Amino acid sequence: MSEDLSNADQMLTILATLAEKIEQRLKIHGCAAQTITLKIKFADFQQITLSFTPDKPLCDATAMMGIVTTLLNESPAMERPVRLLGITLSNLINPQNTPLGSQLDLPFDSNENLSPLKNHSVKETTI
């Protein structure tokens, strides 16, 4: 932001805009989030993050704002000028409640030599 904020209404307006943009992206990609994080950076560039994992996955701006408002009220944001606000969603899932971005298992044979130098000769050089 170009100016520090110290007014809760201004902060909530900015956060609502972010939540609406996030909702649109979630709809485009057909997913929801299990965890929401509020990031607050103060004028002195110190920052805090507050996270919450609700019982039901988040996919709409109204639900996000309910949680973000609570997190903002629990933070020291009203006591210090704020320079940056952000919302992060994590632990994304698709409609079938399957985690997105999961670790994949690769089908390596346990006896296979995985050395990258397996078929290469190494020539020793001294200077």
**At 3, is the pLDDT very low, low, confident or very high (cuts 50, 70, 90)?**
confident
Q: Taking the model in full, what pTM does it have? A: 0.72
**pLDDT given at position 96:** 65
CATH numeric code, 8-93: 3.30.1490.100
Q: What is the DSSP string of 33-48?
A: EEEEEEEEEETTS-EE
| pLDDT, tens digit (0-9, with 9 covering 90-100), for 23-79 | 999 999 899 999 999 999 999 999 999 999 999 999 999 999 999 999 999 998 888
Backbone angles phi, psi at 115, to 5 degrees: -65, 130
